[in-house]
Amino acid sequence: MAQGFSKQSRIFVAGHRGMIGSAFVRHFNSAGFDQLITRDHQALELTDKQAVAAFFAEQRPDVVILAAGKVGGIVENQSYPADFITRNLEIQTNVIHSAHRFGVQRLLLFGSSCMYPRECPQPMAESALLTGKPEVTSMAYAMAKLAGVQMCLAYNQQYGEQRFIPVIPNSVYGPNDNFDPRSGHVLSALINRLHTAQRAGDALTTLWGSGTPRREFVYADDLAAACHLLLATDLSTVELPINIGCGYDLSIRELAQLIASVIGYQGDIGWDTSKPDGTLRKLLDSSRINALGWRPATALEAGIRHTYASFLESSHA
């Protein structure tokens, strides 16, 4: 087990109520870790440098899971780019700096597949980062995440330790996702749209774009398991960052049909090609994490069923 990580570790899960953060809470609780530290937005404002420093000074976490940040779909990214870049840069800077200052042994930061160039060889290897321009519709978010990844690498380089671990998961989904059709990511937004159409008995529901872009999806609990492996592994000779993907993709059209089948929607699905598609394909080369022994455990249909059950339990349904 890597130095600084055990069942007695004090683990701060930043963003514990979100999709990724809540998956880590479930994972660590089930694995017997009983020193989890959480704070909601009201108790700790991560954009407040002094508040973050005071929290780290008091709590002294050994491990940090940085799952907090501003996320959203194409519409949100296009509408609020200043919010996306500013809030994410502030959170990352404050948390990483305090983690270094107060001796955190391991920190996990989540990048995004949107950091890769829009035109990129598939599957996308980590070496392709910064070889081209990211997709314009998510540029502000991508630049903030690229800065976070580079910040982790810079601290590791300057201080000679692989303490800060940037990972790049692809299209994470699962319970506690944001199901808002305007601000959510594609899978969760489609669940809401097709659920609404099914309940209304609509003969036709029209979705954004052409349906031809291809995406790779990772179930949030599988991501937590992959990151547990990284925390428990000696990474001194492992090149960072590390992609985390399931290894296969499908078109948005195929995804919509699969979700419709899970929900029971039997109407027709149309496509509004006047709306943006985003990047045409985003499939990760996950050979680095695979070489360490990780494989996803959750098939896409099963993950969608779990996610839809979470949606039905929420106020959205």
Would you please indicate which residues are annotated as catalytic (active-site) residues? 141
Q: Cα separation of 87 and 144, whole Å? A: 9
Beta strands at 11-14 and 214-215: parallel, antiparallel or unpaired:
unpaired
Q: Is 217 exposed, middle or buried (0-12, 13-18, 19+ CB in 10 A)?
A: buried
Beta strands at 106-110 and 281-282: parallel, antiparallel or unpaired:
unpaired
Q: Cα separation of 264 and 155, whole Å? A: 50
CA nearest 61: which of 1, 3, 8, 2?
Answer: 8
Total count of residues recorded for the chain: 317
Q: Cα separation of 193 and 274, whole Å? A: 18
Q: Cα separation of 244 and 172, whole Å? A: 10
DSSP 124: B
